[in-house]
A and B are shown apart, each in its own frame.
Chain A
Amino acid sequence: MYTFSNKLKTFSIALMILGLLGVGYGFMTSHKSFEDVETILAEEAHHGGGHGEETAHAVTEKAHDTHATENTHATETVSHVDEHKKHVEHVQHQIANRPWAALYVAAFFFMMIALGVLAFYAVQWASQSGWSPVLFRVMEGITAYLLPGALIVLAIAVASGTIGHYNIFVWMDPEVVAHDKLIQGKSGWLNTWGFAIRGLIFIAGWVLYRQFSRKFSIAQDNANDNKNFKKTFRISAAFLVFFLYTESMMSWDWIMSVDPHWFSTLFGWYVLAGMMVCGITVIAFISLYLKSKGYLELVNDSHLHDLAKFMFGFSIFWAYLWFSQFMLIWYANIPEEVTYFVTRINDYRLPFFGMLVLNLVFPFLVLMNSDYKRIPWFVVMAGIVILIGHYIDIFNMIMPATVGDRWFIGIPELGALSLFAGLFIYVVFNALTKAPLLAKRNPFVKESEHFHY
């Protein structure tokens, strides 16, 4: 049995407290008054950093020139003030969105690790793989975060439209919808009630599978036959079908709908590929940690090799989907779709392309060599890069739609990351203490113990 070391517990609690402070700071400093934003913009324009303000004014000025003969000076001034007011309000909204979006990105990132591990776990059962049973309890420990994690994501999403001022999803704002024909057309799907109910159904399905597979897996330890094993096999196959549908819809709801004017067909798989890489990386991390503490003697470097191969393979799969999505839209260049990438390339150049280096180039070159995949510190190093890369990936999906060019990875983002990292460590390692770390009577566990590549 694993015991949650006090050191780690304190560390996770410290992370949560630090994170809460950071998140609190983010929310405290994001409420800017109209005048505050005006000063910020004026200062930026003064430093030559102003972009929107000047262009917006130039456009208004031009418009004035053409209409100068027809319009009186009074209306000109009014429209000028209107433009200015609109712009300041827009920026004010973006600044207010930042702590919400930062919280949401971090919450989703850790939720997606647990969900990716759950899907990987189900695949291991359904494929009756012989190498992984010694890692089952580690995977079950990680998926314990799914219930709190997913509920938090859904809660933040709904709260942003009820408590907050529609800080993540603009389609939740009745004001916006009233003036937007495109969102009106989608309101059959994109409405807050539907969103919340669908989210609860997804979470219920995932968590049900998680609870039952865990229950049967533990029951199998002391059983005399393989009834529990067969049951888990069946529910795993059924879960995978349910998961592929709900994961796709979840990605439309929870991520794609931050840009309600944009859509992409392979988005669900793209999100899936990212969550699988992160999940497998975290399995490798936690297995290595537990092994280094002497809790998983049966995990050998061949298991690590297999995990690293999956990290490598899914990194490339992720890049394949990223590129397929990007290239198709870039090539066809249809205005209604391409704005998605135009804003990202203009305002997020470094995270947008930097993430490709972190998520594709680096793992591709580092994890290609078979010998390196067996060296713990090497896999950990590659894994850290992959996790950072995929955090930035989620960041790139959410931020451009919420804070636009007012992004920065500062205290609100790092605070939220630390908060959920602490929570994740606390929940996962707490769950690991609840059952023996070896699935004793799993029919494949002997094979797994002697697994070598």
Chain B
Amino acid sequence: MEASKVIHAIYTDDDVLMNAVKTVKAEKHHIEEIYTPFPVHGLDKAMGLAPTRIAITSFLYGCVGLTVAIVMMNFIMIEDWPQNIGGKPSFSYIENMPAFVPIMFELTVFFAAHLMVITFYLRSKMWPFKKAENPDPRTTDDHFLMEIAVHGNENELTNLLQKTGAVEVNIIDKEDEH
């Protein structure tokens, strides 16, 4: 069930934030989200987020690109119209392969890079004209915000977060967008 109330703890320092995350995790509260103005090294580990698999997708896309390059040039240069161009051997793919390697390489990189970027956009739900999901504009400048779901334990959570060095702790009624 989606919590209707969330608590927003705001920090001004990434070290304080890291310690707060560890404390909150140790108290076994579920952190919904953390908003930071820049990548905080080690935050994903502290939060216990699963490692990304985007590199694996990239490798697979690279394999696709290589296949596309090989199939395309094998069809065009060897099967469809094996012309003699400057004495290059067009009898089989392997015989003329060195000439195709630059294209094979570039298409591998092209597919690996572009499809991985598109995958990243899809997975992180990013596109032009997307409505920004930012609870507090200060988090894009110099504040860090930790969002925790409230399950009737408001006071306990507020005390805990204040102890971790939060400069502001707000309880927010969340309009359910999901």
Contact = CB atoms under 8 A, between A and B. Distances in A.
Interface of A: 323, 326-327, 330-331, 333, 368, 370
B101 A323 contact: yes
Contact of B98 (A330, A368, A370): A330
A368 B59 contact: yes
Contacts, number: 12
B99 A333 contact: no
Contacts of A331: 98-99
A68 B99 CA distance: 46
Contacts of B55: 370
A326 to B, nearest CB: 7
A331 B99 CA distance: 7
A330 B88 CA distance: 10
A326 B87 contact: no
Interface string B11-37: 000000000000000000000000000
A370 B55 CA distance: 10
A103 B37 CA distance: 62
A330 B87 CA distance: 12
12 contacts: A323-B98, A323-B101, A326-B98, A327-B98, A327-B99, A327-B101, A330-B98, A331-B98, A331-B99, A333-B87, A368-B59, A370-B55
Nearest to A371: B51
A333 B101 CA distance: 17
Interface in B43-58: 55
Interface in B75-132: 87, 98-99, 101
A326 B99 CA distance: 11
Given A327-B98, A331-B99, 10 more contacts: A323-B98, A323-B101, A326-B98, A327-B99, A327-B101, A330-B98, A331-B98, A333-B87, A368-B59, A370-B55
A420 B55 CA distance: 41
A368 B112 CA distance: 14
Contacts of A370: 55
Nearest to A368: B59
A130 to B, nearest CB: 15
Nearest to A365: B59
A314 B175 CA distance: 54
Nearest to A320: B105
A323 B99 CA distance: 11
A368 B101 CA distance: 20
A167 B87 CA distance: 38
Nearest to A333: B87
Contacts of A368: 59
A324 to B, nearest CB: 10
A369 to B, nearest CB: 9
A326 B98 CA distance: 8
A34 B67 CA distance: 55
A38 B99 CA distance: 43
Contacts of B101: 323, 327
A328 B87 CA distance: 15
A333 B89 CA distance: 12
Nearest to B102: A327
A370 B53 CA distance: 12
Contacts of B98: 323, 326-327, 330-331
A333 B87 CA distance: 10
Contacts of B87: 333
A327 B100 CA distance: 10
A364 to B, nearest CB: 11
Contacts of B99: 327, 331
Nearest to A330: B98
A434 B31 CA distance: 54
Contacts of B59: 368
A63 to B, nearest CB: 29
Contacts of A330: 98
A333 B98 CA distance: 12
